[in-house]
């Protein structure tokens, strides 16, 4: 049974990858998470970066740098601790991103009765129990994009990393979202994060950038970020 489930998940991943090759990734995010525009997608991606890196962790680790280097292989030499930290700061300082953070907090409180046990399970990183509790909720809750965004934000905060999907199986945050909600929502969240990071990384001048050695993880306190 386990092997069959793994096979099914791999086929579903492959099918979604093919869809995203033939369909604009922004459209996937907009339709899945009910975000009305490209600007909204970027703002929401910025809120995830803020929630996971700045609010939850406060520094960028070497493992995160390696993941983003794989995600942006065309500018791999430019992706280092300094530039990733700057991209995260730029994304999170955007007023629209900050508004999305406040909206997520309001929605978290708004659904506190329905999702109390889901929140508790996420807080302890028990994502199997979080799925079980989520599956007990009413269908209008399970199918609500605002609920999905709250759960994504909570998982990102607890795991201290935004959802990242470069190749199967994705990072821990991606896997947790996939387990609690579903694969399409996990994929949409990962693409929103990637699009936001890519935009902010490419805002900086990159002409004549040489391949740079990987930097050691540098801890930065919250005030610095």
Q: Say if pTM beats, i.e. exceeds, 0.75.
A: yes
Q: What is the pLDDT of residue 223?
A: 42
pLDDT at 166: 82
Share of the chain above pLDDT 90, in %: 46
Could you give the angle at which helices 183-201 and 2-22 cross, rounded to 10 degrees?
A: 50
pLDDT tens for 156-179 read: 999 988 998 887 778 999 999 999
DSSP string, the chain: -HHHHHHHHHHHHHHHHHHHHHS-HHHHHHHHHT--SHHHHHHHHHHHHIIIIIITT-EE-HHHHHHHHHHTGGGGGG-SHHHHHHHHHHHHHSHHHHHHHHHHHHHHHHTHHHHHHHHHHHHTT-HHHHHHHHHTS-HHHHT-HHHHHHHHHHHHHHHTS----SSTT--HHHHHHHHHT-HHHHHHHHHHHHHHHHHHHTTS--TTPPP-PPPPPEE--TTT-
pLDDT at residue 224, rounded to an integer: 42
Residue 73 has pLDDT above 50, yes or no: yes
Q: Band of the pLDDT at 154, cuts 50, 70, 90?
A: very high
């Amino acid at each position: 049974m386990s092997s069959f489930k793994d096979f099914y998940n791999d086929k579903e991943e492959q099918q979604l990858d093919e869809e995203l090759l033939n369909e604009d990734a922004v459209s996937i995010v907009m339709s899945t998470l009910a975000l009305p525009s490209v600007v909204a997608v970027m703002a929401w991606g910025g809120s995830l970066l803020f929630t996971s890196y700045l609010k939850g962790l406060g520094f960028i680790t070497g493992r995160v740098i390696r993941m983003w280097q794989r995600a942006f292989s065309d500018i791999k030499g430019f992706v280092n601790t300094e530039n990733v930290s700057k991209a995260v700061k730029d994304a999170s300082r955007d007023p629209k991103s900050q508004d999305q953070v406040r909206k997520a907090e309001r929605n978290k409180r708004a659904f506190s009765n329905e999702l109390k046990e889901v929140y508790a399970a996420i807080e302890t990183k028990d994502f199997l129990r979080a799925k079980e509790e989520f599956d007990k909720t009413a269908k209008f809750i399970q199918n609500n994009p605002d609920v999905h965004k709250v759960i994504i934000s909570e998982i990102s905060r607890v795991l201290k990393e935004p959802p990242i999907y470069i190749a199967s199986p994705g990072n821990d945050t991606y896997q947790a979202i996939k387990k609690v909600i579903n694969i399409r929502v996990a994929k949409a969240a990962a693409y929103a994060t990637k699009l936001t990071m890519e935009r902010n990384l490419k805002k900086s001048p990159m002409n004549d950038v040489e391949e740079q050695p990987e930097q050691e993880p540098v801890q930065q306190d919250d005030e610095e970020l």
